[in-house]
């Protein structure tokens, strides 16, 4: 599984942490081991430009996802397929503000946003109540399992 994390934000993002989280998630979701994912951390000006260009909304946002191949998690009766998952773009300055309001660390917020972005790449959405319940439930389950795995290895 290839996960590339680049920090162009100037915020000193913990790239190895985000790469570990991403690999953990993709393995848990039974994504093909040859799948490729890119995670990019950008500053607010770059995120504002992307947000306006692709979502037609002004100002920065916390996370954007740009899917490439339509990869889906493997199931008991269907093996995963290899391919290029896509790009998750994170904005650490926005994450830092959200983390302060939520009362947790910026790293924890970036973990949540990266997880959220990857789920979007895999076709999950939260446009209606049922989709939101499913996506946010899986997001919480994956983050909880990842945090528990880190505690066990510390």
Kindly report, residue by residue over 64-86, the tens digit of the pLDDT.
999 886 655 656 666 656 667 88
* DSSP secondary structure code for residue 102 in this structure: H
Residue 12 belongs to what domain range? 2-153
pLDDT class of 24 with cuts at 50, 70, 90: very high
Kindly report the pTM of this predicted structure: 0.89
Specify the pLDDT at position 74: 59
Q: Residues 139, 141, 146, 151: what is their CA dihedral angle, to the nearest 10 degrees?
A: 140
| CATH number of the domain enclosing 66 | 3.40.390.30
Token pair 């909880």: residue: 144
pLDDT class of 23 with cuts at 50, 70, 90: very high
Kindly report, residue by residue over 123-154, the tens digit of the pLDDT.
899 999 999 999 999 999 999 999 999 887 65
How far is the C-alpha of 63 from the C-alpha of 42, rounded, in Å? 10
Domain count, the chain: 1
């Amino acid at each position: 599984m290839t996960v590339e994390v680049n920090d162009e934000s100037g915020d000193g993002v913990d790239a190895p942490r985000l790469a570990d989280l991403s690999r953990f998630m993709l393995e848990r979701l039974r994504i093909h081991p040859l799948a490729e994912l890119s995670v990019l951390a950008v500053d607010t000006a770059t995120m504002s430009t992307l947000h306006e260009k692709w979502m037609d909304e002004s100002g920065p946002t916390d996370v954007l996802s740009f899917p490439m191949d339509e990869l889906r998690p493997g199931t008991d009766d269907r093996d995963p397929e290899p391919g290029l998952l896509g790009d998750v773009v994170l904005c650490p300055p926005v994450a830092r503000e959200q983390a302060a309001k939520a009362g947790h660390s910026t790293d924890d917020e970036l973990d949540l946003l990266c997880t959220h972005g990857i789920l979007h790449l895999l076709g999950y959405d939260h446009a209606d109540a049922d989709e939101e319940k499913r996506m946010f439930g899986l997001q919480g389950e994956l983050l909880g399992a990842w945090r528990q795995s880190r505690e066990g290895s510390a």
